[in-house]
A = this chain, B = another copy of it.
Amino acid sequence: MSNLALQELLDGRWGHVRRAAREQLAGSHFVTVPGETLEEARSRVSKLLTELPTEPGVAAGFPIEYGGGADPGGSVVAAEMLAQIDLSLMVKAGVQWGLFGGAVVALGTKRHHDAYLRDIISAALPGCFAMTETGHGSDVQNLRTTCTYDPQTRTFDLHTPHEAARKDYIGNAARDGRMAVVFAQLVTGGQSYGVHAWLVPIRDGNGDPMPGVTIGDDGHKAGLLGVDNGRLSFDHVTVPREMLLDRYGQVDEDGTYRSTIENDTRRFFTMLGTLVRGRVVVGGSASAATRSALTIAVRYGDIRRQFTAPGHDREVALNDYLAHQRILLPALATTYALSFAQEELVTALHEVQTAPAGATDEHRQRELESRAAGLKAAQTWHATRTIQACREALGGAGYLAENRLAGLKADTDVFTTFEGDNKVLLQLVAKGLLTGYRDAFGSLDGWGRATFVAEQVRAMVLERTAARALIQRLVEAVPGRDEEVALTDRGWHLRMFSDREEHLLDGVIRRLRKGAAQKKDRPFDIFNDVQDHVLAVASAHIDRVVLEAFVAGVDRAADPETKALLSKVCDLYALSTIEAHKGWFLEHQRLTPARSKAVTAMVNDLLRQLRPRMRELVDAFAVPDEWLNCAVLREEPARQEAMAQFDGRLS
């Protein structure tokens, strides 16, 4: 069944990282243990973190001079691989090396790097990323913790003014963290300069909280039991001046504030922008977990049989049922599409973050942030839906912890709302699309804060992605009238996707213009009344980006047989997406009723064609059996054999 050409294509540019992980982390030492208590899970994962190979690994993103690999792309892919082993381990690694270590690298300067990076990389210094507050989840620009400079003592005073301002959901806080990067409003000389970050010790050498620091425990969660999320409050904690991570803003001894970025909002979003990797990791990990879930569901559906059918001499394999295919195959096609889109995103991240200092242009940085936000939302929602469907596809067996899907579901569930709530992220994407039109309807402040996007965003995102020329050629080759075009014409798919995006964008702009004219006295309503259209345009944009990445991926396939197979999977992705939005296409007369029905018939036809290839398609994900960690996949073949023998003997 194995299709190495396909596997290699999916493994992609960081294939060596994936292969190394499959070898270095082979066996069952690192995999999840169902039914652990909270404390067992936390202590196991905490210990495993120190045993992870670093080369290549999640820590590969650090600068070479401190022992890293200067390979941000590789570190993201290494995290995806951990996500297939144990999502708690991935998140714990992501907190330590991505969020905590990443913030020290990106927001700190040489003295912070020299002092801490080696211990961060070795995990000798476990740390937290303390941004979110109980009262301000998404609206981080308005968090309430203050850090006030006192020129007398040349120290900062870090303070939590009330319970709603405590730091919450902070990974590594409840049990292990020794230090935290704490985000707070910087105040000096009686004036606030917006959110900055400080390195703050939170526990002493005995593991006790530092004076003035109160540490709480978020306790049991739906999943991710191995991650010790907690709460941090600061009661006038003294922080030395040097502990300000001062790459983007400095405070002189006398309290004078200096920054090369004058505008507070813009500075804050520039700082946030350097931390984009977290979202790329979450999106990629969600897809990695989805690949595990689909591998389990498809392999189970191939061996599990249910109901005798006329004309069949034994019971029918689940995967032979149309209703089963209808659930698993479009999800599988979308997972392929998202894998190619994620690969493109990781490449963009890698290029931006390894560009020589000063060579990164802001436009590319903003586009990266927008793409990361959109694909994080798309991948995490897809994961939530698909893993749920896989759980149901296993029936009662899917509910048992020993069959892994319950854990995959519970562990990934938070991804839709952490590292940016998906609905907020979609608004960021939409704002990027709309920025070019701003003059038409005035400032976007209405949901400006809601989208974490600074005013200076100029990203213009109706451009083409990587395989621009190829896509242009395909689109131009489509005849003018839809009815003459084959349903599997790739150019037609591309045109349908981009027409939908452009039309929705026009609609939002028209509505905003109208709103701006009619609702001057109700500025909130101008934006709120189109919020559903805003989310729709962002979603349509991401669909188009994902399809283009898939098309480019198909084009990269060298082996003709692999290319033909992949092209069918791409057909299924494109047509099942069009089918899912057929209401919109019909409303806007981009599909006739007859052609809309033909799309459904063609999707069903593709399901029949791809049915015999389902196993091959999931095998190309190359998730090792030990990582799948699923009892019923190990046990079911023998049971089916016993049953067949028994039935043979009886009849």
Which residues of B sit under 8 angstroms from A521, Cβ to Cβ? Answer: 311
Segment of A111-119, A156-164, A476-484 engaged in the interface with chain B: A156-164
Residue pair A139, B307 in contact (C-beta under 8 Å): yes
Residue pair B221, A401 in contact (C-beta under 8 Å): yes
Residue of B at shortest CB range from A528? B322
Residue pair A306, B222 in contact (C-beta under 8 Å): no
Is A127 positioned at the interface, with any CB of B under 8 Å from its CB? no
Residue pair A306, B137 in contact (C-beta under 8 Å): yes
Q: Mark A19-63, 1 if CB is under 8 A from B, else 0.
A: 000000000000000110110000000000000000000000000
Which residues of B sit under 8 angstroms from A563, Cβ to Cβ? Answer: none
Residue pair A308, B392 in contact (C-beta under 8 Å): no
Interface size on A, residues (CB 8 A): 97
Residue pair A37, B34 in contact (C-beta under 8 Å): no
Q: Mark A320-338, 1 if CB is under 8 A from B, else 0.
A: 1111001000000000000
Which residues of B sit under 8 angstroms from A583, Cβ to Cβ? Answer: 579, 582-583, 586, 596
Is A421 positioned at the interface, with any CB of B under 8 Å from its CB? yes
- Sample of 26 A–B contacts (CB below 8 Å): A35-B38, A138-B307, A139-B306, A144-B643, A163-B639, A163-B642, A164-B639, A164-B642, A165-B643, A169-B399, A219-B402, A221-B401, A222-B391, A222-B401, A223-B399, A309-B527, A311-B522, A322-B531, A322-B532, A323-B423, A388-B388, A388-B413, A395-B421, A396-B414, A406-B410, A587-B597
Is A376 positioned at the interface, with any CB of B under 8 Å from its CB? no
Is A648 positioned at the interface, with any CB of B under 8 Å from its CB? no
Residues 348-376 of A at the B interface (beta carbon under 8 Å): none
Residue pair B639, A135 in contact (C-beta under 8 Å): yes
Q: Which of B134, B326, B589 contacts A593 (CB 8 A)?
A: B589
Is A220 positioned at the interface, with any CB of B under 8 Å from its CB? yes
Copies of this chain per assembly: 2
Is A450 positioned at the interface, with any CB of B under 8 Å from its CB? yes
Residues 413-433 of A at the B interface (beta carbon under 8 Å): 413-414, 416-418, 421-423
Which residues of B sit under 8 angstroms from A64, Cβ to Cβ? Answer: none
Is A266 positioned at the interface, with any CB of B under 8 Å from its CB? no
Q: Mark A389-410, 1 if CB is under 8 A from B, else 0.
A: 0011001111111100010011
Which residues of B sit under 8 angstroms from A398, Cβ to Cβ? Answer: 417
Residue pair B446, A310 in contact (C-beta under 8 Å): yes
Q: Which of B306, B310, B524 contacts A311 (CB 8 A)?
A: B524
Residue pair A135, B418 in contact (C-beta under 8 Å): no
Is A449 positioned at the interface, with any CB of B under 8 Å from its CB? yes
Q: Mark A151-173, 1 if CB is under 8 A from B, else 0.
A: 00000000001111100110000
Q: Which of B401, B586, B596 contacts A219 (CB 8 A)?
A: B401
Q: Given A163-B639, A416-B392, A604-B532, are A222 and B136 also a contact pair (CB < 8 Å)?
A: no
Residue pair B400, A528 in contact (C-beta under 8 Å): no
Residues 211-225 of A at the B interface (beta carbon under 8 Å): 218-223
Q: Mark A632-651, 1 if CB is under 8 A from B, else 0.
A: 00010011101101100000
Residue pair A308, B418 in contact (C-beta under 8 Å): no
Is A312 positioned at the interface, with any CB of B under 8 Å from its CB? yes
Q: Mark A446-487, 1 if CB is under 8 A from B, else 0.
A: 110110000000000000000000000000000000000000
Which residues of B sit under 8 angstroms from A630, Cβ to Cβ? Answer: none
- What is the CA–CA distance of A497 and B396 in the complex, to the nearest angstrom? 33
Q: Given A164-B640, A587-B582, A604-B532, are A417 and B392 also a contact pair (CB < 8 Å)?
A: yes
Residue pair A322, B529 in contact (C-beta under 8 Å): yes
Q: Given A137-B306, A306-B139, A406-B221, are A161 and B646 also a contact pair (CB < 8 Å)?
A: yes
Residues 164-211 of A at the B interface (beta carbon under 8 Å): 164-165, 168-169
